[in-house]
Amino acid sequence: MTESIAHVSNRGLRTPRAAAIAGIIFAVLYGTSYTLIQISFPADPLYTGDWLEDYARTIYLALGMLPFAGIAFLWFMGVVRDRMGHLEDQFFSTLFFGSGLLYLAMTFIAASIAGGLLAIYAFDPGIVREGGFSVFSRAVIYNFNIVYASRMAGMHMIVLGTIWFRTQVMPRWLVMVTYLFALVLLISIGFTSWVMMIFPAWVFLISAYILVLNFRTQKKEVKEDDLTVRN
């Protein structure tokens, strides 16, 4: 069993570095986008002032990053699955893909609503200012991101933590960190909107760890090849 796990780990570490780097790209793009949106939207959900006039360009920039962040996240899911190898379980794989894709879909829906809000404002600012349209749109965006997407992100992390615990392809400390972050995402809903930053931070951690292992393994293989040639 130990030899099998080692074989799977070594094969997973040979995954192109670009795949693990994709996780870091997702973390940076999503983290930057989410931060820009958070500082642009008014803290008071009932605020009806002309805040879009000051922050429209910032929000456009943030929304422009999200599609690329989504593509990078799909690459990240691919490299994580590659590390599972033949130890992959169909039940957990279904939960892994389902929660990841639902998280991504809800994030895109929230971004689409924000983009629609900007488009309507550009056409007729009065529609956004009046009738509570802006308040309603922000409430829907908040619920998609904080209530639903965050729980799917937490579910995604729990599934991966369980897979790693059972297959031992990741160290125990990383599994415990994953469970802790997932628990915070699941129970801290409604306390602060910044809780969503936990997920990209976790993806960054996992991707960086895989890259470090990849580098160490390749460096070790080069040394072994050099010794073989000398002998």
Q: Report in angstroms the alpha-carbon separations of 169 from 11, 162, 163.
A: 11, 11, 9
Among 64-68, 80-84, 121-125, top mean pLDDT goes to 64-68
Confidence (pLDDT) at 65? 95
Is the model's pTM score more than 0.95? no
- State mean pLDDT over 89-114: 90
- Residue 179: the pLDDT is 96
Average pLDDT over residues 21-40: 93
pLDDT at 13 over 70: no
Q: Calculate the average pLDDT of the chain.
A: 81
Residue pLDDT, tens place only, 121-166 = 888 777 777 757 778 888 888 889 888 999 999 999 999 999 888 8
Cα–Cα dist 189/53, whole Å:
30
Q: What is the pLDDT of residue 85?
A: 62
Residues 31-56: tens digit of each pLDDT: 999 999 988 887 766 666 677 777 88
